[in-house]
Amino acid sequence: MSVDDPLLNSLQALLRSERTASLGTLSNQGLPVVSRVPFAICPEQASIIIHISEMAAHTRYLLQRPDASLMVSQSEHGQDAVHDLPRVTFQMQARKLEREQPDWEQAKRAYTARFPDMEFLSSFTDFHFFALDLVRVRHIAGFAAARTLKPELVRALLAEPVAG
């Protein structure tokens, strides 16, 4: 897919430059919980990948209720007008990947390419890769530049290989 849309270029740049996101899950009591998680893009699955421990409450919540939200926002740099910061919010379905299966291997490659210093965690049995599959996408490219995107369009962006 050739990206000629400046706002799609902005979204792609945001997802490739930021390395952490805010993950929203629901507690056992149905209360919203927000956590900060590192993420990677897996082109083969056209999804966002997180690698999280069972010791974290958000992992247990995802295992019980796979509906989740993820927000990626450009980091603030001192004098930036915060209302102008690009950001995207995804509503997603979390899918736990089974160890040593092809989709798990793809996720591991994508994640460790982005976070090579964390590769050792993939051998820990309490850490799990989750693929976050898009359901709804709300992109804010800057002040007064908000739109809802079709998940298929964003999946096509995620499917593009990350330049090496």
Q: What is the pTM of this model?
A: 0.91
Task: Using alpha carbons, select from 102, 121, 151 the residue that is nearest to residue 50.
Answer: 121
| 108-145 residue pLDDT tens | 999 999 999 999 999 999 999 999 999 999 999 888 88
| 136-164 residue pLDDT tens | 999 998 888 889 999 999 999 999 887 65
**Residue at 1 is within a domain:** no
Burial of residue 58, with CB atoms counted within 10 A of its CB: 0-12 exposed, 13-18 middle, 19 or more buried? buried
Q: State yes or no: pLDDT of 2 exceeds 60.
A: no
Torsions phi, psi for 42 (to 5 deg): -110, 100
Cα 91 to the center of its chain, rounded Å: 10
Over the range 63-102, which residues count as b (16 or more CB within 10 Å of their CB) and which as e? eeebebbbebbbeeeeeeeeeebbbbbbbbebbebeeeee
| 70-84 residue pLDDT tens | 999 998 877 768 888
Nearby residues of 109 by Cβ (< 8 Å), 6 or more positions away: none
- CATH number, domain at 108? 2.30.110.10
**Residue at 164 is within a domain:** no
**Residue at 163 is within a domain:** no
Q: Report the share of the chain in percent with pLDDT over 90.
A: 79
**Residue at 12 is within a domain:** yes
How large is the greatest C-alpha to C-alpha distance in the chain, in angstroms?
46
**Which pLDDT score, from 0 to 100, does residue 1 have?**
40
**Residue at 85 is within a domain:** yes
Domain that holds residue 61: 6-158
Q: Mapping DSSP to helix (H, G, I), strand (E, B) and coil, where does residue 118 land?
A: helix
> For the residues 78-103, what does the mean pLDDT come to?
90
**Residue at 90 is within a domain:** yes
**Which pLDDT score, from 0 to 100, does residue 163 have?**
62
Average predicted confidence (pLDDT) for the chain: 91
- The number of distinct structural domains making up the chain is 1
Which residue type, as a one-letter code, is found at position 55? M
